[in-house]
Each structure stands twice: as structure tokens, then as C-alpha cells.
Chains A and B, each alone.
Chain A
Amino acid sequence: GAVVSQHPSRVICKSGTSVKIECRSLDFQATTMFWYRQFPKQSLMLMATSNEGSKATYEQGVEKDKFLINHASLTLSTLTVTSAHPEDSSFYICSARQVGALAGGYEQYFGPGTRLTVT
């Protein structure tokens, strides 16, 4: 149980175009989803937290107009990288937390990640 998928797993796009990444919780409902960015050989950097039906909360330094996050349902969140540039190339990872998680059940379930390359 608690499987999270991401699509696509890899994407190459041209500079100036937009790319959408989907994150789905396959066998549970997720009130909260998180988007991370990971640079090579580094830890995860939280970009934003999204709650179903409300606006995402972005971390300091993350451009909300560049990284558009939509969490329209309890099983789907999307991250759109708008007007992508080569410096946006990275590994993007989403995670989800289950609805009604018990006080101690705040673990996050992670998707496999999306490798974005902007040329």
C-alpha cells in the first residue's frame, strides 16, 4: 500500500517551454502533497506544500509563478515548470501524506521522481 506515482519519469524540453509533472497517490487519499527538488549528490529541498483544494505554500526563495502547483483532488497534484530554463534542470520528487493519518502517522510516501532536462 501507500504507492505514489510520478509522470513522466524523464522529460527533456526546450528552453522557454513549460513542463507539467503529475504526482498521484494510487491506493490512498492524500490531503497534503509535497514537492521537492534534488540536485546531484545532495539532499532534498522542499519547494512547496500543497493541500487539496487550496493554494500551495511555497518555501522561501521558490518562485510561485514559475513553479505552479495544483492539488485539485485527493489523489493528484501537478507541478508545472513554466518558461523553463537550463537552470531548472533537476530531479523533482513528490510525496504524499495520507488523509486521516493518526497523530503519529505523519510519514510521507514518495514518488520515484522526474528527471527534467532543459536544453
Chain B
Amino acid sequence: AQSVTQPDIHITVSEGASLELRCNYSYGATPYLFWYVQSPGQGLQLLLKYFSGDTLVQGIKGFEAEFKRSQSSFNLRKPSVHWSDAAEYFCAGTFNAGNNRKLIWGLGTSLAVNP
């Protein structure tokens, strides 16, 4: 069955440190992959997406993600974290054909940033 896994439930980093949030998927082919951020009291915002082509994807707010087929991973990275990056991060993928492509969600990683 198709699935998206975020192994880390909670991560704490210091402001200015680098960040990597892990995401793995289970699917026989290449899915469409997304990273969303959910800040307290705000809606989900799309950070970046991967459909095909260049496996290193640049997103908003200084984030990037790299698709690695051999590892079935799509990890999110940021070289220097800001306090405002503290939020919940969700990795998601679409695997089904047709118009009603549903998003399969990871359980999320809660990011805390220490000053």
C-alpha cells in the first residue's frame, strides 16, 4: 500500500543551525511529493513539490528538498533555521491516477527552534 512516513515526530534545533526533516514513501513508481508547513493558527502552506526532472527542488522560505529514488526519500532541508520556522511540517504524496488524486500524508514533524 502507498504510504508516507515521517520518522521524526519532534525535532529541536538552535537558531542558525541547519535542518533536515526526513520523509520516506512507499510506492512502486515515482509519486508526486509535497512538503507543507502549518504554523499555529494558520493554514497549510505549500513549501515545495516534486513531480519529475531535477531531483533537487527549491521552495519558498529558503527550503529545499531532494528526491532520492534509491532511498524512496524526499527530505526537506534548510541551511540556517530562523525562529519563525518553528511549526508543524507535513510531507505528502499523491500516488493514484485520475482526477481525484488524493494526498497521502505523513504524521508530521513538529519543529522547535531554540534561540
Contact = CB atoms under 8 A, between A and B. Distances in A.
B17 interface: no
A4 B36 CA distance: 15
Given A43-B90, A106-B32, A111 B43 contact: yes
A108 B105 CA distance: 13
Interface stretch (A12-20, A44-52, A69-77): A44-52
A59 to B, nearest CB: 9
B12 interface: no
A112 B94 CA distance: 21
A106 B108 contact: no
Interface string B65-109: 000000000000000000000000010001000011111011110
Given A104-B52, A106-B94, A46 B44 contact: no
B6 to A, nearest CB: 9
A44 B32 contact: no
B99 to A, nearest CB: 6
Interface string A84-119: 000000000101000000001011111111000000
B34 interface: yes
Interface string B19-52: 0000000000000101010000011111001011
Interface in A16-44: 31-32, 34, 41-44
Contacts of B36: 110
B101 A106 contact: yes
19 contacts: A4-B43, A32-B99, A32-B100, A34-B102, A34-B103, A42-B107, A43-B90, A43-B107, A44-B44, A44-B90, A44-B105, A46-B103, A49-B100, A106-B94, A107-B49, A108-B103, A110-B45, A112-B42, A113-B43
Interface of A: 4, 31-32, 34, 41-44, 46, 49, 51, 57, 93, 95, 104, 106-113
For the complex of A and B, the 6 pairs showing the least CB-CB separation, nearest first, are A104-B51, A112-B43, A110-B44, A43-B105, A43-B107, A110-B43
